[in-house]
Structure formats: C-alpha cells, structure tokens
Amino acid sequence: MATDSNNGAAPFLPDRLDLGSLRAAAAGCRGCDLYRHATATVFGDGPPDARFMLVGEQPGDQEDRKGAPFVGPAGRVLDRALEEAGIERDDVYLTNAVKHFSFTLRGKRRIHQKPTAAEIDACRPWLTAELAVVRPDVVVVLGATAARSLLGPGFRVTKQRGVPVPLGEALAVATIHPSAVLRAPDREAAYAGFLADLKAAARAADEAA
C-alpha cells in the first residue's frame, strides 16, 4: 500500500467500492499529513441507499475521539433540524469533506483549524467514492469547505444557499455548517435559515422522486 503523504488519498482506495471496503481502507489513509496527529480516520456513516448525503467540513474534537461524524454539539443542532425539516434519519448518510481532525493545540485543548485547500483536495477521492456508492438524490453541502470540495472554489454558500444545483446525477443544496449556528450572534435567526435550507433539500428530494 502507498505511504506517500503528498499524493492524496487516491492510492489508498480499495479495488472494490462499497462502504465497508472504503471505511476499512480509509483507516489506513496517509494521503495528507493530518493523520499524524488525529486520533483516527472518521469515515461516513449511514445506509448505502440513503436519499440524502450530508457533507460537512471535517471531524471535530468529539468526532475524532469517538470515530463517528456529527456526534458533538453541531450534530445535535443537525439532528433537531433534520427532524423539523421532515428528513428521516434513516434516509441520511453523514460524512465530511476531510476525514481527519485538523487542529492546533492551545494548552491541553485541541482547537479546530480549517483544512487547507491541499488537504481538501487530497481527501476528495474518499468523498467521490462515497457519492458513487450511495448515489443520493440530494447532497446537502454544509459550509464553505464542503462547497469547495464538491462545487468548486468559486461557489459561495452565502449567495447560493438553499438553491438546488446539479451535482452529477444528484442535486446539491448548500447551507451553513450547523456549527455556524452555534457561533452566530443571533442563534435563532441562524437556525431558522439553516432549517429553511434543509426544507429546500427535502423538497428537492421529493421532486426528484
């Protein structure tokens, strides 16, 4: 298996593309240097036939420790919004554009650090493979990092959020990351906008069906 951390994730993909094989292979990914300090690869989670794929930025501190996506405070915001938007959790596959936690140390605390463009690009083969396996009707793009990975560096979430756009055979609907709701000066307004975008994603899925 390849061990060069400068060539991206592509050399680490398995020959057989299914979620089990991808998850197992991703555990040994050395496609960028983030693996050196993260606890573990945090791969996607959800059914292989999910109608919705939700793509965030990267694992946070709790996700890194527990090995699962969206299990921290932002995940609780997301779970509430999904329920209120009428999106069944069993219809959702959760993942991130970057599979390792990027952070800086401040004392004993690990502080989130936004992934670099090179790290996003290095990790894209995993996300591309997840899309190919799950084949969702709608991809909900959570924040600027996921938007860069899936929709390109020219896409602006703030200007184009909530509007379905083509993404391969699926539709993509961009919105803010749920962690942005927690950071917002007006959380109620931020949450209302986030919920409206998820409702737009639910409508897009119904129309696609």
150: domain CATH number is 3.40.470.10
How many domains, in total, are found in the chain? 1
Domain around 41: 10-208
Residue 152's CB is within 10 A of a number of other CB atoms, namely: 8
Helices (H) and strands (E) in the chain, counts: 8, 7
What pLDDT tens digit does each residue of the chain (209 aa) get? 344 456 799 999 999 999 999 999 999 999 999 999 999 999 999 999 999 999 999 999 999 999 999 999 999 999 999 999 999 999 999 999 999 999 998 998 999 899 999 999 999 999 999 999 999 999 999 999 999 999 999 999 999 999 999 999 999 999 999 999 999 999 999 999 999 999 999 999 999 87
With 0-12 CB in 10 A as exposed, 13-18 as middle and 19+ as buried, what is 86? exposed
Q: Is position 62 within any domain? A: yes
Helix (H) or strand (E) holding 183: helix 178-183
The whole-angstrom separation of Cα 163 and Cα 77 is: 21
Q: Is position 89 within any domain? A: yes
Q: Is position 5 within any domain? A: no
Q: Is position 4 within any domain? A: no
CA 196 vs CA 114, 175, 183: distances in Å: 26, 9, 18
Q: Is position 155 within any domain? A: yes
Q: Is position 198 within any domain? A: yes
| Secondary structure class of 80 (helix, strand, coil) | helix
Q: Is position 2 within any domain? A: no
Would you report the helix, strand and coil content of the chain in percent, each value rounded to 5?
45, 15, 40
The whole-angstrom separation of Cα 197 and Cα 159 is: 13
Q: Is position 31 within any domain? A: yes
Structure tokens at 3: 């061990």
CA 167 vs CA 16, 46, 91, 99, 178: distances in Å: 23, 20, 19, 21, 22
